[in-house]
Amino acid sequence: MATENWQQSLKDSISTPEQLAEYFRLDPAPLRQVAERYPMRISPHYLRLIEQPGDPIWLQSVPDLRELDDAGLVDPLGEEDLSPVPAVIHRYPDRVIFLVSSSCATYCRFCTRKRKVGCRELSLSFKELRDGIDYIAATPEIRDVIFSGGDPLLLPDPVLADLLARVHAIPHVEMIRIGSRVPVTLPERITGKLCQILQRFAPIYLNTHFNHPRELTVESAAACSRLADAGIVLGNQTVLLRGVNDRPQIIADLFRGLLKMRVRPYYLHQMDLVRGGEHFRTSINTGLNIIKNLRGPVSGLANPYYVIDLPGGKGKVPLVPDDVVREGDRLLIRAASGELVEYSDKVD
């Protein structure tokens, strides 16, 4: 089978500190121990977006010694406890996450699933994927299946089509969502053939993950255009990251640019309490201030929910002033159930 352009790009990605050091003329030694624990990969497209060490693209993709800080949680969202079978996370009654891939085109240094993404020994077998489909088929309250991972769109076309067909054929599944960062990091993956496959399983919603205006490239815009023209509904989930996008003007520029690309800003995420990502976290006040500054100057279409995914599998909560309660030094977040959950805030 001939190698497609996007597959060749993956092969050409930077995956070792030595390759990165040669490209930027720096010492690879400090990066080795980080990459040994948390794998690295930077696609050629994303690498070209780095203008200099320490810029917003570099921070998202290049290993950092601060990742070895053990502050935070290995499994911040309690996903292991919510997995009835290895390929499925069932947190909410009517929807599940279906983990179909353990690989990404570029490994984000702030990833919630740092513990498993990029690790070959944790990749799911065909039997485990079939067990996941069987679980979905046997659970009639599931109406919404979210393909995630890793990145589902790194699967070869025939494998992805097969999984989509099997899930789409389950009578009680009403829609499929896909979470993918390839429109940002590997836009050449969004081929006409892929769009034709996705069209067959409507309704499909694709949430991608742009974090900074510099990621809004001509190539990414073309990829999103191909998806939108194929009838795929596009949303974006941005993670609030210290030193990357934690200023109102950056977020405003990003969200305006996304709307021009027919991508609706869907969530602004508070950084999860993931081990190895503490240096990316901002205070919740930072996020609330950004949302406050968006209202009025920016179209309501570009005003997403600012959400926090509470630790322990308590679920996503939109953050508005009434849901944030301070009792002395304690910060409490009101969950959908009305329960007040203590949260360890970051001090700016």
Q: Using CA atoms, how far apart are residues 9 and 13, in angstroms rounded to an integer? A: 6
pLDDT at 346 (0 to 100): 77
Band of pLDDT at residue 222, cut at 50, 70 and 90: very high
CA neighbor of 86 nearest in space, from 130, 145, 146: 130
Question: Is 104 a known ligand-binding residue?
Answer: yes
User: If you write DSSP's letter for every residue of 130-148 in order, what string do you get?
Assistant: HHHHHHHHT-TT--EEEEE
Mean pLDDT, range 239-266, rounded to an integer = 97
Q: Using CA atoms, how far apart are residues 254 and 166, in angstroms rounded to an integer? A: 36
Q: Using CA atoms, how far apart are residues 291 and 240, in angstroms rounded to an integer? A: 11
Q: Using CA atoms, how far apart are residues 195 and 16, in angstroms rounded to an integer? A: 32
pLDDT tens by residue, 179-208: 999 999 999 999 999 999 999 999 999 999
Q: Choosing from 151, 246, 309, 345, which is the catalytic residue?
A: 309
Confirm whether 11 is a catalytic residue. no
Using a pLDDT cut of 70, give the percent of the chain over it: 97
136 CB-side CA count, 13 A: 33
- Residue 240 C-alpha from the chain's centroid: 12
Q: Choosing from 46, 109, 111, 177, which is the catalytic residue?
A: 111
pLDDT over 90 (residue 117): no
Band of pLDDT at residue 330, cut at 50, 70 and 90: confident
Band of pLDDT at residue 2, cut at 50, 70 and 90: low
pLDDT at 251 (0 to 100): 97
Band of pLDDT at residue 122, cut at 50, 70 and 90: low
Which domains does the chain carry?
5-343 (3.20.20.70)
Mean pLDDT, range 296-323, rounded to an integer = 86
Confirm whether 256 is a catalytic residue. no
Mean of per-residue pLDDT scores for the chain: 93
Confirm whether 111 is a catalytic residue. yes
Confirm whether 95 is a catalytic residue. yes
Q: Choosing from 113, 115, 181, 189, which is the catalytic residue?
A: 113
